[in-house]
């Protein structure tokens, strides 16, 4: 090779571009790696609420916003009430013992029979009967009774019954709801010790079963030193 060619070759090699060194990205606190199947979230979206101001699904509540166990079970009872088939009032009941749900129930017609919402008619309503009266004319089994039917007495003994009532047309919580005397009798025999209902303003209201027993459900009164039945309106 001549001197001129060697000089040209060295000149040509000298013009070759140098490779850029790889840029090292700063590792995050977790090591800079994303777990398989997990999509990395943009830093601009972290901590921001979606449109409407509601937290996204799966988001943890703010510190101190954890609901109480009472509200937890009442919320479940309210969801159960959504299965009710009554045209007037929807009730949901949840039996809890040792912090475990034993059974649930809602008010509606017996199994395999036609529901009132399917017919679009309520016999008691057509007669103008007020809520809490003439239950012998109602086709439904109450939420408390259905919950008790679906559990054994052994599992319910010393348990608590959570009940929520809703106005069927509006879906609003009934602040004046209370177990009827038919359900109170079943609750006593089931061995339950307490009933918790959602009262005015959504606040829990507790009823001790022993108070119903002590007062004989208000169905007896003392006359001349003797207990005698007395007429009580409603059920």
Tell me which residues are annotated as active site: 144
Q: How many CA atoms lie within 13 A of 103 on its CB side?
A: 20
- Rg (C-alpha) for the chain, rounded Å, is 34
- Phi and psi at residue 206, to the nearest 5°: -105, 140
User: In this structure, are residues 142 and 91 in contact, taking their beta carbons and an 8 Å threshold?
Assistant: yes
118's CB contacts (< 8 A; 6+ apart) are: 85
Q: Return the DSSP state at 28.
A: -
Structural contact between residues 165 and 115, judged by C-beta atoms closer than 8 angstroms? no
8 Å CB contact between 214 and 207:
no
| Closest C-alpha among 44, 46, 45, 40 to residue 28 | 40
Q: Token pair 């606040």 is at which residue?
A: 203
Distance CA 132, CA 146 (A): 18
**Residue length, the chain?**
235
Tell me how far CA of residue 156 lies from CA of 33, 142, 160, 161, 195, in angstroms: 50, 17, 8, 9, 12
């Amino acid at each position: 090779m001549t001197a001129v060619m060697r000089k040209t070759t060295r000149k040509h090699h000298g013009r070759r571009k140098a490779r850029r060194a790889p840029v090292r990205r700063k590792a995050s606190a977790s090591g800079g790696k994303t777990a398989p199947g997990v999509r990395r979230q943009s830093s601009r979206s972290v901590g921001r609420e979606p449109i409407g101001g509601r937290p996204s699904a799966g988001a943890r509540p703010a510190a101190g916003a954890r609901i109480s166990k009472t509200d937890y079970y009442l919320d479940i009872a309210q969801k159960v009430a959504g299965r009710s088939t009554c045209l007037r009032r929807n009730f949901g009941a949840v039996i809890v013992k040792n912090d475990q749900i034993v059974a649930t129930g809602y008010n509606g017609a017996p199994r395999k029979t036609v529901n009132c919402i399917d017919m679009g008619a309520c016999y008691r309503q057509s007669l103008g009967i007020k809520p809490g009266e003439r239950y012998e004319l109602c086709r439904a089994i109450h939420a408390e009774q259905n919950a008790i039917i679906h559990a054994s007495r052994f599992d319910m003994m010393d348990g608590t019954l959570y009940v929520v009532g809703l106005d069927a047309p509006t879906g609003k919580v009934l602040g004046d709801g209370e177990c009827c005397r038919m359900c109170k009798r079943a609750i006593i025999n089931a061995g339950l010790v307490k009933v918790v209902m959602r009262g005015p303003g959504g606040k829990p209201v507790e009823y001790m079963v022993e108070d119903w027993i002590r007062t004989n459900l208000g169905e007896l009164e003392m006359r001349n030193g003797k207990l005698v039945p007395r007429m009580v309106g409603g059920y």
